[in-house]
Amino acid sequence: MNNYVAIYDGIGEKFDQAISKASEREVEVNTFFHMLGDVNNKRVLDLACGHGFFARQMIERGADEVVGVDISSEMIKLAINDSLDVPNLQYHVHDVALMPHLGSFDLVSAVWLLCYADSEETLVQMLVNIHNSLLPGGRLIAYTSNPDFRLGICNFTRYGLTILSEEPIEGGFSCDAQFVTEPPVPFHFYRLSREVYERAIRRAGFSHFEWVVPMIPQKHLDEFGEAYWYDFQRNCDQVGLVCQK
């Protein structure tokens, strides 16, 4: 995971530019908060928090406390700077697969975290740490790379990112991609299989899990039209995942 420290330290403020201009971003946000549900009076651990967008949103929506964690110190600096006036919000720099116990939480959120697991064992390490961070009955709300995506059907450029290449690895694919910005912002991720995910979830001790199809807001269907979203709906590169302790 150390390679990601350099990558995201280097991206810094470009990351916000990259995601804010992608049409898939509103789908991601809409789906995430649908899965998350009511956060009023909840304690939330926000993993791969980046510059703190979701952490701040959850405080605004009534969470008692949010603890953000990211592997990139530069991302955490941005998050702290953008959250100076936000109460009950703190940030830490950790690799989730190796992070110490930070407390017990009602919810753990992980938007674009699990896709950085390069093997089933790394994924299990992440999920075990998440499971150990949850109170009984607590939930993990994740958004990750869709195991069912097939690059041979279509790419994802019109929605905000281009997958440049993918190489088979045990249990999935190792992928190089770039955000559609000027200049493009490169990154690397892993698309592990559905079987690997589900086996890792069970190994980590979760009692129940559910895959969630990304939900395109009606205003975006109206704005861009059904034809624009055709490839997104038939070969989506992202998916929601809810796991319960």
Taking only the tens place, the pLDDT of each residue in 199-236 is: 999 999 999 999 999 999 999 999 999 999 999 999 99
72 DSSP 8-state letter:
-
Reply yes or no on domain 2-145+193-244 having CATH 3.40.50.150.
Answer: yes
Mean pLDDT check: name the lowest of 1-5, 36-40, 95-99.
1-5
- pLDDT, one tens digit per residue, over 7-60 is 554 555 555 655 666 789 999 999 999 999 999 999 999 999 999 999 999 999
Q: Which two tokens stand for residue 159?
A: 């929605």
pLDDT tens, residue by residue, 116-160: 999 999 999 999 999 999 999 999 999 999 999 999 999 999 999
Q: What average pLDDT score do residues 62-89 get? A: 94
Which band of pLDDT confidence, cut at 50, 70 and 90, is reported for residue 181? confident
* Contact predicate 78/29, CB 8 Å: no
> Is 60 exceeded by the pLDDT of residue 241?
yes
Residues 6+ apart with CB under 8 A from 219: none
Is residue 15 within 8 A of residue 50, CB to CB? The reply is yes
Q: Which range (64-78, 176-190, 206-220, 230-244) has the least confidence?
A: 176-190
pLDDT, position 2: 45
Cα dihedral sign for 234, 238, 242, 245?
A: positive
What global pTM score does this model have?
0.92
Predicted confidence (pLDDT) at residue 92 exceeds the cutoff of 50: yes
Peptide bond into 100 cis (omega under 30): no
User: Of residues 172 and 22, which shows the higher confidence score?
Assistant: 172
Higher pLDDT among residues 12 and 71, named by residue: 71
Query: Residue 6: what pLDDT?
Result: 47
Residue 206 φ/ψ region, left for φ over 0, alpha for ψ in the -120 to 50 degree band, beta for the rest: beta
Please state the domain extents for the chain.
2-145+193-244
Predicted pLDDT of residue 14: 57
pLDDT of residue 185: 83
